[in-house]
Amino acid sequence: MKHRAYLALGANIGDKEDTMRRAVQMLQAGGCRLVCASSLYLTKPVGYTDQPDFFNAVISVQTDLTPRQLLQLSQATEQSLGRLRTIHWGPRVIDIDILIYEGVKIDEPDLILPHPLMLQRAFVMAPLAEIAPELHISERLTANEAVKLIPADGVVQIRDSGWAQTDRNS
């Protein structure tokens, strides 16, 4: 598998940790090899705030999928786990965003890489900096440098990276 990608996962409905673990399993079954996972973070909702807090994490995967195929796999995984798109930034069973597909820049209506909002989101940058502090997320900034520029209010590490182990009994 020759391509490294970083994916953000979030959930705030149902058994959030289990759903995120199942999402990792489905991504692996679809052609991604889990390289590492961040800790799990409890975060306040952004945008539409009248909803439960989120669990958020970032995973690093290796894959032979193209960015477009990875997007399709991510969306199929969301749909299989019950994701409904009703309220923009509203409650969700699972959300999977491609943050970075190393070496690739894309600007299309349904796929922009690197993710255009990640530098504004502590709930993305904190877990990304945890697993890839030296990753260049822009021409000038590493993940570790970028996370220091974002207020981290409402982002609390709650569980180590073991949450993503897909071979454990729940």
Helix (H) or strand (E) holding 71: helix 67-80
Q: What residue type is assigned to position 133 of the chain?
A: P
Please confirm, yes or no, whether 4 is among the known catalytic residues.
Answer: no
* Distance of alpha carbon 58 from alpha carbon 56, whole angstroms: 7
Taking residue 55's Cβ as centre, other Cβ atoms within 10 Å add up to 22
Instruction: List the catalytic residue out of 95, 140, 153, 159.
Output: 95
Residue 135 to residue 36: CA distance in whole angstroms: 14
**Has 95 been annotated as catalytic?**
yes
φ, ψ at 99 (rounded to 5°): -90, -55
Active-site choice (4, 22, 53, 97): 97
57 strand-pairing partners? 9
Catalytic hit among 50, 83, 153, 160: 83
Q: What is the rounded distance in angstroms from the CA atom of residue 152 to the CA atom of residue 34?
A: 26
- 83 assigned to active site: yes
Q: Give residues with Cβ within 8 angstroms of 49, minimum separation 6.
A: none
Among candidate residues 68, 92, 110, 168, the one labeled active-site is: 92
Q: Which residues belong to the active site?
A: 83, 92, 95, 97
